[in-house]
Chains A and B, each alone.
Chain A
Amino acid sequence: DTGVSQNPRHKITKRGQNVTFRCDPISEHNRLYWYRQTLGQGPEFLTYFQNEAQLEKSRLLSDRFSAERPKGSFSTLEIQRTEQGDSAMYLCASSLALSGSYEQYFGPGTRLTVT
């Protein structure tokens, strides 16, 4: 079990550029989540997939944000036309849809800095 992995770990970009992050969940997990964490705050839910279907999106997920999980395995989160307010840690988590097993396992995160 290699855990949840995220790439890149750090990304510095200029305002207006597009960025894409990747998340590889724990291999047998069919649920995948994206959260955003700003300094001094708890993570905030962005979106959630079960297999390849995107089942829930937060109002925080503006039109500039898009997430995919094309084959129900890894997922990508793209931010278009980045703004300074997008600077945050982007966390990915995965879980197994199994009765009694509700905990989510988190990756190390991708820290985005928009200059």
Chain B
Amino acid sequence: AQSVAQPEDQVNVAEGNPLTVKCTYSVSGNPYLFWYVQYPNRGLQFLLKYITGDNLVKGSYGFEAEFNKSQTSFHLKKPSALVSDSALYFCAVRDWAAGNKLTFGGGTRVLVKP
């Protein structure tokens, strides 16, 4: 069975500082990995994905994520956080051998303080 862990319920960071949101996963086959962001009363917005190729993937709004196969991690990063990045972030995995469903982590709330 596939699973995702986001070990931090909340991350606090000052505006302009680097932001990291952690994610580890478990799958039986090759992972497809995704990050989504959710603003209040809104659906999930796709940020970026790792399917294959370069371990560092770049996405929307200046976010990037690094795939680390040995550590089974896919941490989300942004070099300089903005107050508007305050939201709920979800990591998700799809096991290519287990169908098309996404399995999500529990989410990490990011609070960027001015």
Chain B residues, Cβ within 8 Å of A4: 43
B106/A41 in contact, CB under 8 A? yes
**Interface size on A (CB < 8 Å)?**
26
Chain A residues, Cβ within 8 Å of B90: 42-43
Chain B residues, Cβ within 8 Å of A56: 99-101
Chain B residues, Cβ within 8 Å of A48: 99-101
A105/B46 in contact, CB under 8 A? yes
Q: Does A74 contact B (CB under 8 A)?
A: no
- Name the CB-closest residue of B to A31: B100
- Name the CB-closest residue of A to B91: A42
Q: How distant is the Cα of A70 from the Cα of B3 in the complex, in angstroms?
A: 32
Chain A residues, Cβ within 8 Å of B36: 106
Chain A residues, Cβ within 8 Å of B100: 31, 33, 48, 55-56, 95
Q: How distant is the Cα of A33 from the Cα of B101 in the complex, in angstroms?
A: 8
Q: Does B63 contact A (CB under 8 A)?
A: no
Q: How distant is the Cα of A43 from the Cα of B89 in the complex, in angstroms?
A: 12
B49/A42 in contact, CB under 8 A? no
A107 to chain B, nearest CB (A): 5
Chain A residues, Cβ within 8 Å of B101: 33, 45, 48, 56, 58
Task: Name the interface residues of B29-52: CB closer than 8 Å to any CB of A.
Answer: 32, 34, 36, 41-46, 49, 51
A99 to chain B, nearest CB (A): 10
Q: How distant is the Cα of A40 from the Cα of B100 in the complex, in angstroms?
A: 24
Q: Does A28 contact B (CB under 8 A)?
A: no
Interface centre among B4, B46, B101 (most CB of A within 10 A): B101
Q: How distant is the Cα of A48 from the Cα of B46 in the complex, in angstroms?
A: 19
Q: How distant is the Cα of A35 from the Cα of B44 in the complex, in angstroms?
A: 11
A102/B94 in contact, CB under 8 A? yes
Task: Name the interface residues of A4-35: CB closer than 8 Å to any CB of B.
Answer: 4, 31, 33, 35
Q: How distant is the Cα of A77 from the Cα of B103 in the complex, in angstroms?
A: 20
- Give me the interface of B with A, judged by CB distance under 8 Å: 4, 32, 34, 36, 41-46, 49, 51, 90, 92, 94, 99-107
